Structure 1
């Protein structure tokens, strides 16, 4: 299948150069689906009668292409071949990617009937796990260190192992052909897509059988069904791809790879957005801290200023009291000598207490003037 990727401008040029009837004959898209593609991308269509008038040179000029979104090549049309009647105009992103993978010349999704002698190193490590040299730390396996060699986690019966290895070989080669890599840590394996790790493992489907033992007690056991399950992701992102008697896992490989790539892209977008929000949060916290520091400095400065004001007013009250005492006391009288000395002492200390003078006083050095307020 030939895939044609177009930008908005290219699709606009196609629409005004070729009738929609001809486009739907050339590509796997219906009339309504194509109109919806144009509507979603804000691409104006020729009015009714445009092509008839164009034959006689009477057609109106094309409607200008309005600005909208990005101009990336994200509009896909599929060339119609033979008698293919499918309408691929309204595919989901996953279905579009699935078709792209199936038509990628670098990707071979056909599972061989026999495992090649030159199988991938990952398949070799899966088949012979005892050959993998796990990194150690302090004499024990390091469960935190990632390394680029190892095998895929497999839990299947001996009869199902050859088929499992062939599917792993096909899947690993396809993922590598798509430009993805792998990492391993002890018994866990990950495919790395756009720096995002997604775990991969295989197990066999089982059926629970209820039976009665020789003593009449009800027991249960799990019997292997010879069918595979591919497990992608972990915890909340865990997803199981089940093989059935009618649909093999091989037929789901393109869908699985498409899912992995879209999941990785979504997680990367989420990480980028989270990092952006975290950066904005940190910047906002920094602004708030700076505001708080400025506020605290200004509050302290204002408190100090008010304290100096109180100190000055207390000094003025002291001076006023000393002046009143001087005016109402006969300082020439021998009996008032102590009051005269007190007034002199008070005025000297007032100059020390006055923040506008702050006269030095060796006796009161180290004493806080605020203690007198």
Structure 2
């Protein structure tokens, strides 16, 4: 742990900045920032340093709140500094060996990077690495271009009586597709097929089918909008501007999963100002084969969610079954209790008020038994439904009398 006063820490941060202060004190940047916030020490912003070094006037520095409050602050130091230093030296060694050797073989750093690019595919890792290492976009299109390139060029030359949309989907506001675009697509399609992928072009999208994964790609040509003048040949009152390609290329890569087929999860990979088409090709190739791991993780999450949902449904079903069973048992118990009550009430009346030697006495006792259990003592004229109606009417009448 390192100890420093609140006022001293405030001075250091506003004189050197948070990063340099963290390095000097040998503490973690995030922990230093958290300590400053918890001790009400104002922190400089990026605009403050920008104005300080580039502006004409010195920016205003906020005063330390409650300056008389100046306790010592304890901050945890970075552990195993020697190990970090050793790792830094090793990194420098790798960086120094990043150039290719005279015989054209890959450097230590490049080889290490390539060995980890496609680690998710153990069986195909060597093949993918070899294909990735050989990726290149030539200036001229191959004499044997990919079949989809051949079909695309054939469609573009179509001069039939009606318009037929090209089979490949290349999105652009301009009618001009510069030649390198087809060279790029040709190289990408061939590289994907070398590692076992299948290219499938539909009327709506371009699919890359690899194992059980459905990946999607689309090609976009960014353009600049140029206003036309009266002197331009293309100018008219209906056409006052035109679009011209920037010379760069974008590739949109996505994927589709079975349970969410409407979402394509697209990501736009751009060719930056410093990127060559070969650089873009490598970025696209790497991203395409990073998606299977993402898809598998999403699939696992989806399966867990579905399993949890299934268990919840099963539990709810079991709870409902238990409830219904208990409800029906209780209902039956109450019904038997009511029948027992009325049966006893009738029997008590018969024994008390009727003559034992009469037929009516026997008939009434039989009815008492029937009220108690109509299944055990069935009646030749009345049904179980009749008994329920009679009891129900008597219960309603008793309730009315009680309320009255």
> Is TM > 0.5 for Structure 1 vs Structure 2?
yes
TM-score (norm 1): 0.60
Query: What is the root-mean-square deviation in Å for CA atoms of aligned residues?
Result: 4.3
The alignment status of 1:324 with 2:349, answered yes or no, reads no
Offset at residue 221 of structure 1 (A): 4.0
Number of the residue aligned with 2:145: 119
Offset at residue 151 of structure 1 (A): 5.0
Larger deviation: 310-319 or 238-247? 238-247
- How far apart in 1 are the matches of 2:242 and 2:301? 47
The alignment status of 1:311 with 2:342, answered yes or no, reads no
2:365 alignment partner, SS class: helix
TM-score (norm 2): 0.56
Gaps of 5+ in 1: 1-28, 37-77, 132-149, 333-339
CA 1:318–1:291 in 2, change beyond 3 Å: closer, same or farther?
same
CA 1:129–1:302 in 2, change beyond 3 Å: closer, same or farther?
farther
Superposition pairs for residues 221-260 of structure 1, below 5 Å? 221-233=242-254, 237-260=265-288
CA 1:238–1:283 in 2, change beyond 3 Å: closer, same or farther?
same
CA 1:34–1:261 in 2, change beyond 3 Å: closer, same or farther?
farther
Deviations 1:190-220 (A, max 9, x none): 1124423222122221112356779999965
Larger deviation: 81-90 or 349-358? 81-90
2:200 alignment partner, SS class: strand
Between Structure 1 and Structure 2, the one with more strand by share is 1
1:109–1:250 contact (8 Å) kept in structure 2:
yes
Number of the residue aligned with 1:266: 294
CA 1:293–1:113 in 2, change beyond 3 Å: closer, same or farther?
same
Offset at residue 303 of structure 1 (A): 0.8
Offset at residue 317 of structure 1 (A): 1.3
For CA contacts below 8 A with separation 6 or more, give which structure has more relative contact order.
1
1:105 alignment partner, SS class: helix
Match of 1:163 among 180, 194, 198: 180
Pairs aligned (count): 275
Gaps of 5+ in 2: 1-83, 92-96, 158-165, 256-262, 392-404
Superposition pairs for residues 66-77 of structure 1, below 5 Å? none
The alignment status of 1:346 with 2:364, answered yes or no, reads yes
Between Structure 1 and Structure 2, the one with more helix by share is 2
Offset at residue 102 of structure 1 (A): 11
Number of the residue aligned with 1:280: 308
- How far apart in 1 are the matches of 2:340 and 2:139? 100
Offset at residue 90 of structure 1 (A): 9.8
- How far apart in 2 are the matches of 1:35 and 1:355? 93
CA 1:80–1:227 in 2, change beyond 3 Å: closer, same or farther?
closer
CA 1:249–1:95 in 2, change beyond 3 Å: closer, same or farther?
farther
